[in-house]
Structure 1
Amino acid sequence: MSRFLTFRLRNATLALLVLWLVVSAFYYAQQLFSPNFYLGYDEGTLHKVLKYFACLTLSIYFCLAARAYGLMIFCALMLLLASYFAMDRGGLEIATLSIMVAGTMAPFILIPSLWEDRLLLIGRVIVVCGAGVGIFSVIEITVLSSLFESAWAANGSIRSISTLFNPNNLGLYVGVALLLLPYMRLKPLWTALCGALLMFSLAASGSRTAWVALLIVLIYALSVSADARARLSGLLHRHLPQLLLTGILLAGVYAVYLALSTPPEVEIQVAHRGTDLYTASIRWDNFVTFLGLIDGSLLFPDVLGERADYIQDNFYLVTLNSFGVIGLLSFLVFFATHFSPWRNSNPDLFPWKLVFVFYMVSGLSGSQLNSFPNNQLFFISMGALWVYRPVFGAVSCGASSAAASSS
């Protein structure tokens, strides 16, 4: 009876996780009708509370199911620290927010070991949700284009945000979905349709960060994986009709865009995203400024936000500035003592390893740590590479086999 109840609870939690991943993809859908992001909009306290509460609730179960009590305690300490900083400062600086994200979402790293046999399902959910996000992207820059004209004119570019709050967040999300797509074993029509919508929204996002990271990861995958090379060869030689169908559907999506789009009422001087290096120069200037501000205070979290304006375009700087050198070293020590490399040959893990590489590359000019729902996917991808090493007793079901495979 106990095993039966545990099985039912695990299945129920998996269903809730899948539902939450779907909700996460469309969490900022209201922005389609009120493009406040371009005006420096803050998502609001209610949105923050809801998403962190949902993540925390799931994370508690993940820790209990995997008997990752050390991770639970570590996350609880981070949340206490974040709460203290928030009350002391009367608000959430980026450092406090980063600590809160880690405290509520770090246990998502346990998902691949808890549901190793359901990774294909989770990946398919991300791909289908990404295609849904692509549909909203088409709607945004066609039917709803009049709402965004002033913002596009001010920014010098037509960039889609769809339901992901900002263009770079959209680019990263659909980039992950595109990486997962070839490994999801979907039917040809579904693969072609999802691929067309994902590529359209990736292009519409104007996210060079996602474009470059995706290209680098594809080159990496082909160089290290014979399976990836075989898939590409098979795609070119045996699935030419599928490729053609994808191209036709992509052309159809673009035709819909042209048919439904209306000439803007305001003149928009569109910058060429592929060649304009203005934002890249800003990132470099911010990096140089950050280096000039380094002093002894970097040992501790920057809860005053003294360097916050110069780090938000770099995952590595966000992490260093938010946790401080001491906090970062503490995190690394905990990770080294409680996690081990996961030497598991399950092919369903490989695409998630590519996702991790994608985030680490894109992190040079963007921060997935503070970009919801990419931060969730980032921690899941970490779980494809590292497995929790339990301290108290054996771990049930998938976590137990994960620990055995890592030893």
Structure 2
Amino acid sequence: MTIRPARLLYVFFILWLFFSALYYAPNLISGNLIVDRSDDFWHKIIKYIVIGFIGLLFFLIKKKTDHVVQVFFLSFFAITLLLLQPFGSQGSFGFDAVVVLVLLCGLTHFVISLEYDQLRGIARAVIISAIIASVISYFEYFIFEPVLGEFWERTGGFRAVSTMLNPNNFGVYLGCALVLLLFSDIFKGRWKFLIGVAIFSALLLTGSRTAWVSLLLSVFFGHLYRGGGKLKFSAILHSIFFLSVLLALVMFFILSGLVELPARMLDFQTASIRLDKYFEYLTQIDSSYFFPDSNFLRIDMVSESSYFHFLNAMGIFLAVPVLFYYALNLNTSWFWQVFSNHAGRCFDIAVFYFAVAMLFENVFMSFPCNQLFFVSLGASIACFKCGSSKCDGDFYSARTS
């Protein structure tokens, strides 16, 4: 029997992708959900070691020079950030952000190289991992009070975190899984419905408004995309019906008194505070914005947005060249396919979902959501490259005649 290294790497990747959703399970069991940078250093860093290892194996097997060029380019900026750190600065979170980018870009390149059936396996692994994390959140709600009661008091009431330390991080992951479920036919019929109920209910328990807004916009965008820029009433009615039935079932449990939703879901005051911080960050711009915020002077204003966090961490002086580099290397045909390709692709919509979520949540630095974003990006590009003859069909439920 011939052992194919590329096949073994894919199996290892799928297992890791599945395990990633459960990575922080020990923290849930112990109740240690608020951790500092110094807490359990190796547990915090080993996940990125594994991700970097996958990228290295991909290069050794495929010998893709574009991946190496990107790694060296980003590594140069990481070193530059360290050199720009003033003496006595409090930290180097800009360096951390670039290191995360260096490691995660390997996953994107790896996924781009995969075939149709392998992309299908990625979607299935994400959905199944979301099911397990959702079930754990039910145990969290009904059974873990002795362990997590003190944590809930400090954070203003119950919000499910499951195995992802943070309710917003958990909610964003579940929302992406719902996008993959809704816009594909990996699961069909009653299985699709039951899985939707399980994940949707857990999403409500997170109280994550970011996940809600991103999911609703993605459903609208997804049907716009499926229609090649024109909304199809029958298509959008299908998703409205699907989500409405899920909501009706959840409301039954709420009205029966069995479940109480987090009050934060309807607390728009905290959302307005977040928007006020973003506005403050934009209106106070001065020459210091050209350089990394080494002393965390503006971290409170940008910590909850991936875009502002990256800009603040890098500074305009370094962020613009990085964005310019990616603009030159981005396949513009892939970017504009939404206006020309009528076949719905679940990973395309997942990329849009994360693009919205990153406005209000620092997805970029939140594992495993940051990993899932780079994987979805790679899968979206892979679908475009392999062509409609391979990627359309039973993988995607959204098709046009």
Q: Tell me how far apart the structure 1 counterparts of residues 54 and 48 of structure 2 sit (CA, whole Å).
A: 10
- 29-38 or 174-183: bigger deviation: 29-38
* Counterpart in the other structure of 2:396: none
Listed as ranges, the gaps of 5+ residues in structure 1 are 262-269, 388-397
Report the more deviating stretch, 35-44 or 48-57: 35-44
CA drift at 1:71: 1.5
Q: Which moved more, 1:364-373 or 1:326-335?
A: 326-335
Partner in structure 1 of residue 266 of structure 2:
275
Determine if the alignment matches structure 1 residue 9 to structure 2 residue 5: yes
2:122 corresponds to? 122
Compare 214-223 and 274-283 and name the one that shifted more: 274-283
TM-score by length of 1: 0.79
1:266 aligns to what? none
- The alpha-carbon distance between structure 1 residues 222 and 328, as it changes in their structure 2 partners (threshold 3 A), is same
Matched, 1:60 2:56: yes
Q: Distance in 2 between matches of 1:188 and 1:146?
A: 39
Whole-Å Cα distance in 1 between the matches of residues 315 and 224 of structure 2? 36
Task: Specify the code of the residue in structure 1 equivalent to 2:174.
Answer: V
Q: Which residue of 1 aligns with 2:136?
A: 136
Cα gap change, 1:128/1:89 in structure 2, threshold over 3 Å: closer, same or farther?
Answer: farther
Q: SS of 1:95's equivalent?
A: helix
- Determine the C-alpha separation between the residues in 2 that align with 1:252 and 1:139: 19
C-alpha contact 1:300 1:323 (8 A) present in aligned 2 = yes
The answer as to whether partners of 2:226 and 2:343 remain within 8 angstroms in 1 is no
Query: Deviation digits for residues 332-354 of structure 1, max 9, x if unmatched?
Result: 22213333135489999821111
Amino acid at match of 1:124: R
User: What's the CA shift for 1:360?
Assistant: 1.3
- Verify: 1:258 aligned to 2:253, yes or no: no
Q: What's the counterpart of residue 397 of structure 2?
A: none
Shift of 1:32: 1.6
Mapped partners of 2:317, 2:283: distance in 1: 20
Give matches, 1:198-347, under 5 Å: 198-226=199-227, 258=258, 272-291=263-282, 293-341=284-332, 343=334
Opposite residue 24 of structure 2, the aligned amino acid is Y
Cα distance in 1 between the residues matched to 2:384 and 2:145: 48
Aligned partner of residue 162 in structure 2, secondary structure: coil
Measured on the aligned residues, the alpha-carbon RMSD in Å equals 3.8
Asked if 1:74 corresponds to 2:73, the answer is yes
CA positional deviation for 1:326? 2.2
Q: Secondary structure at the match of 1:185?
A: coil
**Identity rate of aligned residues, in percent?**
26
Aligned length: 376
Q: Is 2:370 the counterpart of 1:375?
A: yes
Shift of 1:249: 8.0
Which residue identity does 1:373 align to in structure 2?
P
Give TM-score scaled by structure 2 length.
0.80
**Structure 2 residue aligned with 1:21:** 17
Tell which deviates more after alignment, 90-99 or 25-34.
Answer: 90-99
Amino acid at match of 2:15: L
Are 1:313 and 1:365, in contact at CA under 8 Å, matched by a contact in 2? Answer: yes
The letter for the 1-side match of 2:294 is: V
Distance 1:43 1:33 in 2: 16
